[in-house]
C-alpha cells in the first residue's frame, strides 16, 4: 500500500513539486527500489524548492486549517443540496478536496459538463479520473463557499429539470 502526500496538499503549493511516499506491506523493499529509480530519473527537485522547503513546511499550518475548513463547509453544503435532489449522489470522501458525484448517465459526461458550464457550473467529467464515460462528475471542494453553493444549485437544478 502507498500513501502519497506533498506540498500541493499540505501547504497549498501545487506548482512547487515536492512529494513523498510511504509504503507498507510485504513487497515494500522491491516497490521502494523501483520507485527510487523512477524518482531519480524523472522527479528531481530543483535548488530553489529545496532552499524554500523548510520555510514552507514551517508555515503550512495556516493554509492547512483554511483548506480543511473550506472543504468541510463545502462538503456540508453539497450534502444539504443533494439531499433534496435524488438524481445526484455523492461517493464517500476519503481524503483530498474533491467530491465524486454519481449522476444519471443520460449522455457522455463531457456533454453534461459542457451543458453545466453553459449554466455557470464548473466540474470535471469522471473519465478524467478513470471512471466510465457516463454517470460521474468530479467537483472541487476548494471553491469559495458562495460560488460553490451557486454551482451546486445549478448542478442539482440541471438534473432535477432533465
Mean pLDDT, the chain cut into blocks of 10 residues (162 residues total): 81 83 86 84 82 91 90 96 90 89 91 94 93 92 95 92 64
* CA-based nearest residue to 114, from 128, 124, 101, 104: 124
Residue 25 grid coordinates: 506491506
The pTM of this model reads 0.77
Domain ranges of the chain: 2-58, 64-161
Q: How far, in Å, CA of 103 to CA of 50, rounded?
A: 43
CATH architecture designation of domain 64-161: Alpha-Beta Complex (3.90)
Amino acid at each position: 500500500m502507498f500513501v502519497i502526500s506533498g506540498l500541493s496538499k499540505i501547504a497549498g503549493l501545487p506548482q512547487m513539486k515536492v512529494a513523498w511516499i510511504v509504503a507498507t506491506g510485504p513487497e515494500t523493499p522491491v516497490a521502494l527500489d523501483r520507485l527510487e529509480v523512477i524518482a531519480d530519473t524523472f522527479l528531481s527537485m530543483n535548488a530553489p524548492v529545496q532552499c524554500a522547503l523548510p520555510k514552507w513546511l514551517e508555515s503550512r499550518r495556516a493554509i492547512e486549517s483554511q483548506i480543511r475548513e473550506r472543504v468541510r463547509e463545502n462538503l456540508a453544503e453539497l450534502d444539504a443540496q443533494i439531499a433534496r435532489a435524488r438524481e445526484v449522489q455523492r461517493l464517500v470522501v476519503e481524503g483530498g478536496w474533491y467530491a465524486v458525484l454519481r449522476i444519471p448517465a443520460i449522455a457522455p459526461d463531457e456533454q453534461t459538463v459542457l451543458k453545466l458550464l453553459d449554466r455557470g457550473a464548473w466540474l470535471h467529467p469522471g473519465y478524467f479520473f478513470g471512471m466510465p464515460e457516463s454517470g460521474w462528475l468530479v467537483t472541487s471542494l476548494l471553491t469559495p463557499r458562495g460560488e460553490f453553493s451557486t454551482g451546486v444549485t445549478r448542478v442539482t437544478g440541471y438534473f432535477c429539470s432533465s
